[in-house]
Amino acid sequence: MRKKTSLKDIAVIGLALFAMFFGAGNLIFPPYLGTNAGSEWFIGFMCFFIADVGLALVAILSMIKGGDVSIQGVTKKLGAVPSVIINTLVVLCIGPFLAIPRTAATTFEMGVMPIFPKINSWIFGAVFFGLVLLMIVVIGMGKIFIAKEKKVAAHSDAAKAAIAAVPEAPAADAPAAPGTAGKLKLYDVEPKTAAMLMAIVADKMGKPLNELRFISIKEVK
């Protein structure tokens, strides 16, 4: 049973198609065409409508009619090789041949030339795409470094977890060295002060420190 199309689906798909087909050319070119057409504006409007809206509508209807909404939906009946060639040309026109240069052209025509009319368009295009390339490189390098840091942190966390999972062997009490007293008890005395006192006593007695036995050190107040 075929699912009934809801009003919500129609609105979402309609707005998606509008956003996909309505670009800078649809905003800038029609007024320019009407100005140049003069009194013949209606003929110019109809030609623009057929070429812009009509061809896009025919392509969408053919994809729906054929049941294949992929990029090969319209051209696959021409054959494998022509389909690849046409789709490649379409992608190149959408990207590097028309759409990408048009971003610089629109920025120059609408934002730069009215304020700075003497600036060369080729120089502006070089600066514009140079800045775009710089931003792409910076963003790409940043993502690479972040990914590497996350990878190193993940390996470090895994190593720490593996080390923590290994049970520690009970430390055997090492035998005291000859002349030592084992653990030294301190009463109200800092370890640094105790070390200085033991060094002074050993120096005054003229004996190595490891030959003396210190049991405890206590501050007498």
Question: Residue 17: inside a domain, yes or no?
Answer: yes
Return d(Cα 62, Cα 72) in angstroms, integer: 11
* Boundaries of domain holding 211: 185-218
Last residue of one domain, picked from the residues 119, 143, 162: 119
Question: Residue 174: inside a domain, yes or no?
Answer: no
Last residue of one domain, picked from the residues 101, 119, 137: 119
pLDDT tens-digit map of 96-155: 888 788 888 888 888 888 888 888 888 988 999 999 999 999 999 999 999 988 888 887
**What global pTM score does this model have?**
0.43
Confidence class of residue 158 from pLDDT cuts 50, 70 and 90?
low
pLDDT tens-digit map of 35-90: 888 888 889 889 888 888 888 888 788 777 777 767 777 777 788 888 888 888 88
Residues 14 and 107 in one domain: yes
Fill in the DSSP letter of residue 108.
I
The amino acid occupying position 84 is V
Question: Residue 172: inside a domain, yes or no?
Answer: no
Give how far Cα 81 sits from Cα of 75, 84, 86, 127, Å: 10, 5, 9, 39
Look at the chain and report how many structural domains it folds into: 2
**Contact between residue 112 and residue 127 where contact means Cβ atoms under 8 Å apart:** no
Question: Residue 214: inside a domain, yes or no?
Answer: yes
